[in-house]
Amino acid sequence: MCGFTGIVQLAAHESPDVSRLLRMTRTLEHRGPDDEGHVVLGPMGLGFRRLSIIDLAGGHQPIEHGELPVAVVGNGEIYNFRELREGLQARGARFSCGSDIETILHLYLEKGERLVEDLIGMFAFAIIDLREAGAPKLVLGRDRLGIKPLYWAQTDQDLVFGSEIKALLAGGHLPRELRPTSLADYLVQGYVTGEDAAFAGVQRLLPGHTLTWTPTQGVRTRRYWDLPVDALRDEAEDAEVLEWVDRVVRDRLVSEVPLGAFLSGGIDSNAVVDSMARTQGKAPIVCTVGFQEKTHDEVDFAKITAQRLQATHHIETLDPDPQLAVDVLPWFYDEPLADTSTVPTYLVSKMARQHMTVVLSGDGGDETFAGYRRYVHDWAENRLRSRLGRPGQALFRALGAVYPKLDWAPQFLRGKSFLTNVGSDPALAFWHSVSSMTRAQVWEVLSGDVRKQLGAYDPFDRFEEIYRRPNIDCPLYRAQYGDFHTNLPDKILHKVDRASMAVSLEVRVPLLDHRFVGRFVNLPAAEKVRGARGKHRLREALRSRLDERILDGRKKGFDTPIGAWLRGPLRGTITDAVENLPEEWFDRPVLRQRLREHLGGGRDYSQFLWSLIVLDRWRLRHEVSGLSLS
């Protein structure tokens, strides 16, 4: 696990400024505290920071070919590199070290940008190629699910790229301006998604894509992988599910440094830890965090599996410190992210780093097997919607329009969202379930100038295009497909990558192996949701392995008490944010009114106010100068 950056000078006779390249590279020291390297080939340069995991002595990067003017840097792990290496050597390739990333270099010489199709793992990489005189080439690649990040930007002078946006900004040629559309996306969803990053001019290389640049053709991107879009699969047998779980876990156990796992009370992490014990033939090392708030504490459930496996179990009870979100995390999160679990995710990563350098996590099981409660609700709403027909849906829609919004009331009295969703199009209904605010609510708090600049822009439009992409008449699968292209890479995986890399910890996610996901994500809906629970097929397959209390218990989540924070230790911080956020962005009297209503107990604006704190601290930490007008 590492970080890299690079520069391509668009004037072919110029070489990158090495001091600038090193300045960009050193913003990524937290991703790679063990080593630093750089290389310049003609108008192109690469910089690298290393966290040593494989080939500790010889895996220095960038890796140059030796005989040809070609070099590579990579972040992540290639789990099938040994098999690929054997095949390459049989075809005449000569390796200089034992690093998995050198495999990418030799595959490139054989297959060009299509090399990514052979890789199994989590990765982002950059290759610079000067074999053709006067025709330099850059190739970037990102793994299929977006586990590892990669950003790029092109100016009049150069093309820059890197593992984090801060590396690009350190180059000095990019404006530190926020896109208005990104502001709208952030307030609606709580994160920034899609090709456009939060900073104007910066692009996100999408998961499952490559980018190729040459002087004659400029930038070209290509999608090389996607989830199934044509049909649902047959049912899966329990034995097949378990075989795949063991296979993807086994692939991720290669390490020359201490390796363990996160263990919560949830099914996914317990499945991974149980499989580690089976495939390693020994008790694993696991880390669990507990919370003072017992409603969120899962230590007792985690102990069930740890004790059964006789695992070395490190437990720490945490009291999440809200000041982390104000003082520490804004540096590591280059884009505003209003997920309240960023704080506990950072804390569990910091705790785990005291005992190991690599951990396996259970991320991905909920997306693949429809484990989130929102999937169950969406499935139930769609069943009701199909029974009602158009006249019934119209009635529910009308009732939703007149039903009062009772944020302050007990859950059973909050019927507005349910009535509105059942009367809505399935895409819009699911969108409401994954959004923090509606477009109308966001437009109420934005300044008139921003609303004018945004015009008819609607963050829902991009999600709807993704939702409707599969040619599969199954709203549950469409919802999962939408999450895999938005929420998973740009919120969940973004959060885990930045929190773990902040403490130089590598997190591997076996349940997001693309082969595993591709086999099970498009199972029939009945294989995922039964009754009022999701994740049916995985849950049933694991009955021969896990305790029933884990399989049938209710996951408590990785939450934080933001309501109490806003009325307590963050009261001054939210007041400052409301007064300091630029009037160019927001209608300040409306922000003040929202804050008064929340502090007075009349309305619950916790999530919105938290998003303002995160936005303000991000703005200050990264010296954002204003909104982009282009």
Neighbour count for residue 156 (Cβ, 10 Å): 6
Q: What is the SS3 assignment for 64?
A: strand
| Beta strand ranges found along 207-311 (DSSP E) | 209-214, 218-223, 259-262, 285-291
Question: What are the residues whose beta carbons fall under 8 Å from the beta carbon of 581, sequence distance 6 or more?
Answer: 588, 591, 612, 615, 616, 619
Which of 2, 97, 287, 474 is the catalytic position?
A: 2
What is the 8-class DSSP label of residue 282? S
Asked about 474 being catalytic, the answer comes back as no
Written as six digits, the tokens of 208 are 């499952």
- R_g over Cα of the chain: 24
Question: What are the residues whose beta carbons fall under 8 Å from the beta carbon of 310, sequence distance 6 or more?
Answer: 283
Q: What is the SS3 assignment for 347?
A: helix
Q: Give the DSSP H/E element, type plus range, for residue 56.
A: none
User: How many CA atoms does the CB half-sphere of 419 hold within 13 Å?
Assistant: 17
How many angstroms separate the CA atoms of 49 and 59, rounded?
12
User: Directed axis angle between helix 267-280 and helix 299-309, to 10°?
Assistant: 10
Written as six digits, the tokens of 537 are 């097929």
Q: What is the SS3 assignment for 243?
A: helix
Residue with tokens 């009732």: 399
Please classify residue 562 by burial: count the beta carbons closer than 10 Å to its beta carbon, then call 0-12 exposed, 13-18 middle and 19+ buried.
buried
Q: Which active-site residues does the annotation give?
A: 2
